[in-house]
Amino acid sequence: MASHSVVLGVGGGIAAYKAAELARALMEHGVEVNTVMTGAAQEFVRPLTFAALTGRKVITEMFGTGSSDEVLASSVEHIRVAQENQLLVVAPATADLLARFAHGLANDFLTTLYLAFQGPVVLAPAMNTAMWNHPATQANIETLRRRGHHVIEPDEGLLACGTTGPGRLPEPQRIGYFVWRILAQRHDLDGETILITAGPTREPLDPVRFISNRSSGKMGYSLAEAAALRGARVILVSGPVQIPAPDGVELMQVQTASEMRAAVMSRLAESDIIIKTAAVADYHVANIPRQKVKKTAMRLSLELDPTPDILAEVGAELSRSGSGQLLIGFAAETENVVAEAKRKLQAKHCDMVVANNVSADGTGFESDENEVVLALRTGEIIPLPRASKRALADQILDEALKLRLALHQGR
Ligand code: CTP
């Protein structure tokens, strides 16, 4: 059974046929679609199209057409449909529908349902440019926005009426993805265990000194918070950082790369997704002096040995076992970002590498913002424009889930 169900309200505009593609796009995200068509929408597309696509009854009438029993049942159907669905998306939202929603008219099934509906509402307007720009429509849009509804701005382009300007219904896939993201918040990671490493490691030089790096842990902590909010059980293996662990997350504090390795390995089997944001020190002093090193020599050289590459070890193990667990690595680069991401993806058997240019201004280690490129095992490269680390966290999780679906379907 689909975990999400939405009402797709279809208005009477030339773009009504695109609502059929939207139904499909939603279903590809695993969403159950219950279609409600206005009378005008049925002039453009037949209900049968939606019934066949969604495999569900399409609601076209306020009071049904048959017996008095049916009339009685249908008279409360708008309440039932409003209660049983998590989101209402209206596409195309015509000027007439926007006006009726804005003013609370309830003269057909869709507008009555709208008033009874308490979940998130997504409106995708589509109409002639002059109608869109009309002060009446703009005032209605303003009212609906203020009410907290999500309005997806129409695209600009050549319209069916022959004019060019804003008014086109955006790509159904885009609307579908938007809807899915709203639905996805908090619920799409239910039942999943996610292991996240974060922060720097500290490699002691002697009892009082250590080598470390500038990692703040913000990216990993943002991912932990996002994943927890979306329902996951999160195990956060963290080096020393200055920020508090998010609520609802299991924190395992470590210092060195080898402690981090031990923590990760001990929790690997129970984890569905492993995300390694930690900036693990690459080298350490193998034999740490037991006493503080004194300032006696004129010049001091450090002899360093490599630390265990945890990501590479996990990657090798998962690819051997074919367990289907998803492995995401990070790559902090100062040049050749995409090429390095691809190289690390291959070398460490990852499903995704999130690469960022740590030398760019205002992004990277200590910043609240980041700008990253995702290199996927499918060969896809997805740039994620500059945004807060918290916002990027959700986008990375979104892409990870899409990737997992694609990888499982490709099996
Ligand atoms: N990593 C790890 N163990 C290490 C070093 C790195 O698990 N000893 C992981 C990091 O958590 C990150 C990824 O490997 O997910 C890439 O880290 P990065 O330092 O960018 O890559 P390196 O492999 O160390 O390559 P280089 O320093 O040469 O760029």
Residue 401 pLDDT: 96
- Measuring CA to CA, which residue among 32, 34, 33 is closest to residue 2? 32
Across 69-73, 75-79, 293-297, which has the greatest mean pLDDT? 293-297
Atom of ligand 1 nearest to the CA of 257: 8
Give me ligand 1 centre to Cα 344, in Å: 8
CA distance linking residue 103 with residue 98, whole number of Å: 9
User: Hey, what amino acid is at 320?
Assistant: R
Q: Is the pLDDT of residue 66 over 60?
A: no
The preferred substitution site among 213, 256, 276, 373 for testing ligand 1, maximizing ligand atoms within 8 Å of CB, is 276
- Residue 166 pairs in a beta bridge with 156
Across 58-62, 151-155, 209-213, 361-365, which has the greatest mean pLDDT? 209-213
Which helix (DSSP H) or strand (DSSP E) does residue 398 occupy? helix 389-409
Top-confidence residue, 307 or 409: 307
Give me ligand 1 centre to Cα 332, in Å: 8
The preferred substitution site among 275, 336, 344 for testing ligand 1, maximizing ligand atoms within 8 Å of CB, is 344
Which helix (DSSP H) or strand (DSSP E) does residue 44 occupy? helix 41-44
Q: What confidence category does residue 153 fall into, taking pLDDT thresholds of 50, 70 and 90? A: confident
pLDDT 10s digits, 193-213: 999 999 999 999 999 999 999
CB–CB of 127/97 below 8 Å?
no
Give me ligand 1 centre to Cα 25, in Å: 37
CA distance linking residue 91 with residue 77, whole number of Å: 21
Give me ligand 1 centre to Cα 254, in Å: 17
Residue 67 pLDDT: 62
Give me ligand 1 centre to Cα 357, in Å: 14
User: What does the CA dihedral 302, 308, 311, 315 come to, rounded to 10 degrees?
Assistant: 140
Top-confidence residue, 64 or 250: 250
**Mean pLDDT for the stretch of residues 366-395:** 93
Of 161, 339, 381, 405, catalytic: 161
The preferred substitution site among 330, 342, 356 for testing ligand 1, maximizing ligand atoms within 8 Å of CB, is 330
Q: What confidence category does residue 65 fall into, taking pLDDT thresholds of 50, 70 and 90? A: low
- Six-digit token pair at 403? 């990737």
Q: Is the pLDDT of residue 71 over 70?
A: no
Q: Is 350 a catalytic residue?
A: no
Does the model's pTM come out above 0.75? Answer: no
The residue whose CA is least distant from atom 4 of ligand 1 is 309
- Six-digit token pair at 57? 């009854």
Give me ligand 1 centre to Cα 205, in Å: 20
Q: Is the pLDDT of residue 70 over 80?
A: no
The CA-atom distances, in angstroms, between 271 and each of 91, 195, 235, 247, 266 are: 39, 6, 9, 19, 10
pLDDT 10s digits, 107-145: 999 999 999 999 889 999 999 999 999 999 999 998 997
Top-confidence residue, 183 or 389: 389
Chain-wide mean pLDDT for the chain?
A: 91
Q: Is the pLDDT of residue 287 over 80?
A: yes
Residue 248 pLDDT: 63
Which residue is it, tokens 């030398």? 359
Residues having CB closer than 6 A to ligand 1 are 197, 257, 276, 278, 280, 282, 307-311, 329-332, 344
Residue 1 pLDDT: 56
Residue 147 pLDDT: 80
pLDDT 10s digits, 211-238: 999 999 999 999 998 987 787 888 999 9
Domains of the chain by start residue, with CATH: 4-184 (3.40.50.1950), 193-409 (3.40.50.10300)
The residue whose CA is least distant from atom 18 of ligand 1 is 331
